[in-house]
Structure 1
Amino acid sequence: MKWSEICIHTTQEAVEPVSNILHEAGASGVVIEDPDDLYKERDTSLGEVYELSPDDYPDEGVIVKAYLPVNSFLGETVEEIKEAINQLLVYNIDLGHNQVTVSEVNEEEWATAWKKYYKPVKISDRITITPTWEEYEKVHDDELIIELDPGMAFGTGTHPTTVLSIQALERHLKKNDSVVDVGTGSGVLSIAAAKLGASKILALDLDEVAVTTAKLNIKLNKNQDVITVEQNNLLDGVRDEPDVIVANILAEVIVRMTDDAFKSLKPGGKLVTSGIIQGKREQVKDAILNSGFELLEIVEMEDWLAMVAQKPE
């Protein structure tokens, strides 16, 4: 089978929304080539091997790649992707070079080669994310293992915004809490919440691909008894009064949902938000405070932020 590689040269700020556009266009996953990855200090305690070459990365900006099957609709799909990316300018998202190129590749060249770079990664005190094809044994008894197949969609679960969200859940989630996961994507935050002891989780996403992917990953991790996945726009129509709402989404979307989050949460409930680039810090902080929340913490990783807020008792 022949595939087209679509390559977008953009910025770190635009990685998440561009990746989402590619998923909605039919890509089952993305490759992110960020030159910052060349200089990260990495934990190799689990035996990970990192063999990164500067030749594979841009001198500046970030390259996001995806693969689409070559068919008669490819040209239209590429134009739709370009148009959707340009629409991000409405949200004041810096697109950088915003250069889109398309080339043809054979399935054998990419279908499995990338797997050698994806190894188990410990992302918090208790949680380790591992690919489904890797054999992994617990290092300590209370370690929690999340299995993901990034070939399904939405990456490996180790992006800073995901890591910050899971670490926040580990600090703030109490046993038997109820949770609503807004913009669930791969379902990884819902799975983490279940493994941390949540008793009831509602995972929501507007994207049909995300809903399917989340259900598969949740079943893979045997958490389907406590997690329900539904297609839904943010918190529209949600009548639950959860203990925790977690949302790893764009800052521009977070500011639109803080009022609804405040109304939905139980008194004393907590809002965990991530996906916030440094430049949007004050905008999101102001929205959270204006909705009535008390801000508990702001944590940072690389250029990303997560905020945890509480509804007064």
Structure 2
Amino acid sequence: MKWSEICIETTNEAVEPISNILHETGASGLVIEDPQDLVASMESPFGEIYELNPDDYPEEGVRIKAYLPVNSFLSETVEEIKQAINNLLTYDIDVGKNKVTLSEVNEKEWATAWKKYYHPVKISKRITIKPTWEEYAPVSSDEIIIELDPGMAFGTGTHPTTVLSMQALEQYLQPGDVVMDVGSGSGVLSIASALLGAEKVYAFDLDDIAVKSTMQNAKLNQLNKAIEAKQNNLLNDVNIKSDIIVSNILAEIIIQFVDDAWKNLNNGGLFITSGIIQNKKQLVKDSLMKQGFEIIVVNEMEDWVSIVAKKV
């Protein structure tokens, strides 16, 4: 089979939403070439796990690459992707150059080439994300290792918004908690929650492909009984009392279901939100406080913000 590599030159701010767009159009083998990763790997407080080659990264901006099968629908799919990226401007997301290029590769090349970007990454004191094909030995007895196949779906677990979410889960989740993951993507936050001791995790995503990916990755980690994934629009018509709700999506989406999050949280429950760019931080804080939430902490990494709020 012939494959076409789509390469999008954009900004760090647009990485997550564009990655989601590619995932929703059925792209495989997502690669993010972000020069900030070169700095992050050297400055990681958790210790350097792997080395990156600077020659693989752009001097400025971010390159996102993914692979689409060459068929009669290719040009239509590419136009859909371009339109969806342009629509991000309505959310005040800086898409930068927004240059889209295509190049043809054979199946053998793409099936292995993108894997060089994925290695075990320690993203918090206890959590390490390991691609399924990599060997890795735990460095401590309480280390939590998440097995993930990044080719399955959007959400490799190494983007700052995901790291912030996981660090909050590690800090606040208590054994036996009931957790809801809204906008689960690949299910990496659901898996982290279960491995940290959640009794039950409910994962919701509007995209059926994401729901399937969540369950596939849950099975990889032998957590398919602890995690229940369902196709759903945010928390519409959901009535599950939970201790923690975690959501790593756009700020404009988060504020749409603040009231539903409140209704589904036990008293004292926490709403962990991420995927928030700096200039939308106050928007989310105001929405949470208006609902009655108490802001517990605001954490930041690079240009991204995570807010932990408590139902009081």
Q: TM-score, normalised by structure 1?
A: 0.94
215-224 or 84-93, larger mean C-alpha shift: 84-93
Alignment map for 1:184-203 (pairs within 5 Å): 184-203=184-203
Contact 1:46–1:121 under 8 Å retained in 2: no
Q: Does 1:81 align with 2:84?
A: no
Q: Does 1:49 align with 2:89?
A: no
Residues 262 and 47 from structure 1, CA distance in 2 versus in 1: closer, same or farther, beyond 3 angstroms?
Answer: closer
Q: Does 1:210 align with 2:210?
A: yes
Residues 266 and 118 from structure 1, CA distance in 2 versus in 1: closer, same or farther, beyond 3 angstroms?
Answer: same
Provide the secondary structure at the position in 2 that maps to 1:268: strand
Provide the secondary structure at the position in 2 that maps to 1:22: helix
The separation in 1 between residues aligned to 2:73 and 2:48, in whole angstroms, is 43
> What displacement does 1:217 show?
0.3
Alignment map for 1:204-283 (pairs within 5 Å): 204-283=204-283
Residues 140 and 48 from structure 1, CA distance in 2 versus in 1: closer, same or farther, beyond 3 angstroms?
Answer: closer
Residues 155 and 254 from structure 1, CA distance in 2 versus in 1: closer, same or farther, beyond 3 angstroms?
Answer: closer
> What displacement does 1:46 show?
7.3
Contact 1:29–1:151 under 8 Å retained in 2: yes
Q: Indicate the residue corresponding to 1:2 in structure 2.
A: 2
> What displacement does 1:44 show?
10
> What displacement does 1:166 show?
0.8
Q: Which amino acid aligns with 1:250?
A: L
Contact 2:187–2:213 under 8 Å retained in 1: yes
> What displacement does 1:113 show?
2.4
> What displacement does 1:49 show?
3.4
Contact 2:3–2:70 under 8 Å retained in 1: yes
The separation in 1 between residues aligned to 2:303 and 2:29, in whole angstroms, is 23
1:195-238 CA-to-partner distances (Å, cap 9, x unmatched) read 11111110000111111111000011111111100000100111
Residues 68 and 38 from structure 1, CA distance in 2 versus in 1: closer, same or farther, beyond 3 angstroms?
Answer: same
Contact 1:23–1:29 under 8 Å retained in 2: no
The separation in 2 between residues aligned to 1:239 and 1:145, in whole angstroms, is 31
Q: Indicate the residue corresponding to 1:38 in structure 2.
A: 38
> What displacement does 1:39 show?
2.8
Gap regions ≥5 residues in structure 2: none
Q: Indicate the residue corresponding to 2:14 in structure 1.
A: 14
RMSD: 1.7
Provide the secondary structure at the position in 1 that maps to 2:266: coil
1:164-207 CA-to-partner distances (Å, cap 9, x unmatched) read 11110111111101011000111111111111111111000011
Residues 169 and 77 from structure 1, CA distance in 2 versus in 1: closer, same or farther, beyond 3 angstroms?
Answer: same
Provide the secondary structure at the position in 2 that maps to 1:150: coil
Identity of aligned residues (%): 64
> What displacement does 1:243 show?
0.7
The separation in 1 between residues aligned to 2:46 and 2:178, in whole angstroms, is 34
> What displacement does 1:51 show?
3.5
> What displacement does 1:35 show?
2.2
The separation in 2 between residues aligned to 1:29 and 1:220, in whole angstroms, is 18
71-80 or 59-68, larger mean C-alpha shift: 59-68
The separation in 1 between residues aligned to 2:107 and 2:45, in whole angstroms, is 31
Q: Does 1:135 align with 2:135?
A: yes
Q: Does 1:157 align with 2:149?
A: no
Residues 86 and 45 from structure 1, CA distance in 2 versus in 1: closer, same or farther, beyond 3 angstroms?
Answer: closer
Gap regions ≥5 residues in structure 1: none
65-74 or 153-162, larger mean C-alpha shift: 153-162
Q: TM-score, normalised by structure 2?
A: 0.95
Q: Which amino acid aligns with 1:49?
A: Y
Contact 1:161–1:274 under 8 Å retained in 2: yes
The separation in 2 between residues aligned to 1:75 and 1:99, in whole angstroms, is 16
Alignment map for 1:289-308 (pairs within 5 Å): 289-308=289-308
The separation in 2 between residues aligned to 1:260 and 1:237, in whole angstroms, is 9
Q: Which amino acid aligns with 2:120?
A: P
The separation in 2 between residues aligned to 1:31 and 1:240, in whole angstroms, is 36
Contact 2:155–2:185 under 8 Å retained in 1: no
